[in-house]
Structure formats: C-alpha cells, structure tokens
Amino acid sequence: MKVHVDAGRCQGHTLCAMIAPDSFVLSDVDGCASAVSELVAPDQQELVIEAARSCPEQAITVDESIPPSTSPRNGQREKMGTTS
C-alpha cells in the first residue's frame, strides 16, 4: 500500500498524525503533514486508511494496489523527502 499527502490541500488539521502517528509527520514550518514513508507498513495500513478517511481536506490518497508483501515491515520504512 502507498500513501501520499497533497501538500497543496493539507491545512494542518493534524488528524492524520493523531490517528497514525507512526505514518505521518507534521512540518515545524507550516504544520502540514507528510507521509513518513510512501510505502505503508502492514501494521499501519488500517490506521492510514482511517486517517485518509478522516482528513477534512481530503489531502491523503491511499493506493491499495500494492500487495502487502511488498510493503516495508515495521522499522524498515524508507524516508520520503518533504516539500516546503
């Protein structure tokens, strides 16, 4: 599973980080969220889906077409670059 936060839509409501704190990080500059990793660890998938559904700006997209076996295991996440 992959997750993406649209920086242009995110308004920094912080719900995603409250629901899935291991999958989303908030910017110190503008408070907007970004994904910790594009690929979602299997143990975080349900929380990431809940976070996406809870986003008032619909800034989070989830691509469930990636099979769980190809997603990183907890602790093996790759860091994504953040945009400002």
Per-residue pLDDT at 54: 98
pTM: 0.78
User: Contact at 8 Å (CB) between 72 and 41?
Assistant: yes
> Which position has the higher pLDDT, 65 or 23?
23
Task: Name all domains of the chain by residue range, CATH numbers in brackets.
Answer: 2-68 (3.30.70.20)
Q: Which helix (H) or strand (E) holds 16?
A: helix 15-19
Q: What is the pLDDT of residues 27-62, one digit of tens each?
A: 999 999 999 999 999 999 999 999 999 999 999 999
Closest of 56, 47, 7 to residue 23, by C-alpha:
47
Give the distance from CA 4 to its chain's centroid. Answer: 6
Closest of 43, 39, 10, 30 to residue 20, by C-alpha:
43
Per-residue pLDDT at 75: 45
